[in-house]
Structure 1
Amino acid sequence: MTSTRESLWSVAPEDRPRERLARLGPGGLSDSELVALVLGSGMPGVNVLDSAGSLLRQTGGVTELMTMTVGELRSLKGVGVATAGRIVAVAELWRRANDPPPGAVLQSPRHVADAARAHVAANPAGGDGTDSVMLIVVADSELRLRVVVPLAGGLSGEPRAHSLVASALHEVLYRGGAAFALALVCDDHPEGLADLRAIRDVLKLASATVGLRYLSTVVVTGARWAPLE
């Protein structure tokens, strides 16, 4: 790769990200240029524009980059603590600016069931043919509801269970949550409860290792609900 000094000198001053931002505004910059401004400097021996392009290629794009945790970013080539921190900080500021006000306090499993039922009512099924939906109910450190996030797919099979656990923890961390609950909203004849119990047990153990608080798991069927025993 070209050295930082050679690459920067090869770019005309008016075409560098800061100058283009001042002239065109953020809407006139490419994804790589915006990421370059967040990074501030490039990886060793690589200019900041090429470093930004490398990050976007490794992650798959801006959306994927902005949804990664510090740990996930650190696993990328050339990303250290400072770079990961800057990216996560920008993503968190955007989320805070657009997050709705904190919701009700999740004082009991009943409140988890209410949050899950309200989410499903506000977001009807998209016609995918499934009769159930798995939800992660994310709360802050004071157990105030932050967001309810659906997890795609069914419960069956060990690989799927591992995937659900990883997806659930990722969503809680990405959403800035400190606590969470699991909810299965289904018809009157729920299936796969044994798999759900296994997922719950793994989540309870895994949550402690990443500093999260597990609250409860509930099954919601129509107007009824029950904690998973």
Structure 2
Amino acid sequence: MRDHEAELRAAWASEDAGESSAVAETLADRTATNNRRGLGGTIKDMDPADRPRERLIRLGADALSNAELVAILLSTGDREENALEKSRGLLQERGLVGLLRSDVQDLKRVTGLGEAKVTRIKAAVELAARGLADDEWPAREPFQTSKQVFDRYRGLLGDLTHEEVWVLVLDQQHCLIREERLYKGTVHGVTVRVSEMLRPVILHQGAAMIVVHNHPSGSPSPSRADRKLTSELVAGTRMMSIDFLDHVIVARSQFASMAELGLMDARFHEEAGEEQGSG
């Protein structure tokens, strides 16, 4: 006699095995898809054609997403996320501008990344900002307007959360000889010494100079300290026979020029000196 119960149990076991196999195949497919997309696992688990480094070699850097480029800088992830996932989270948290504005300690604290990876990212972003400034300004083209100064330095200074003061050393044609960052301060400002600002101009035998600094507040309006510094620089450069062309204040999307505001002419500074002397 046929054992119908045994046959039924065998059929059920077969169906269960089929379902388990289907589930396993689905999970495998999902894992493979995630690996191709860089979700879960390591970069090495991804299809070689989809790995960021290989894609850069094959297609060029401009074909990669921001996350893929950052992943190449990170090189490796951690136990929870691979490098691509880590870079996506970093960009969602900070964005490219945020990477430029954040210092090393801030990035370490927020991302949990080690010092080596954070410094690699900061170095790459800084090089990009400087390269952008260089590309936007031919080396031997003279500075003729404050807008030219702003266009060159807005990418480098406009999004910073701290103040920086730069001196541009120029030749007689007002072409750039050298640029130096002399001061880096907190959001509350920096203390500037006029003698130190004149030093690179004298050292590199410059005929003229421009001072550039940023306002992290977003407003380029000159402060009392900005006006005082400009007045002292006018006096100092006059004594040293250096042509002080402008003091440009850079904010994120706008700028102020002391020269265009009339805050660098001799009469203004003579009056300012008289007021300070009588005060």
- What TM-score do the two structures reach when normalised by structure 1? 0.48
Q: Flag the structure with more relative contact order, 1 or 2, with Cα contacts below 8 A and sequence separation at least 6.
A: 1
Report the TM-score, using the length of structure 2 for normalisation.
Answer: 0.41
Counting helix residues as a fraction of each chain, which structure ranks higher? 2
Over alpha carbons, which structure has the higher Rg? Answer: 2
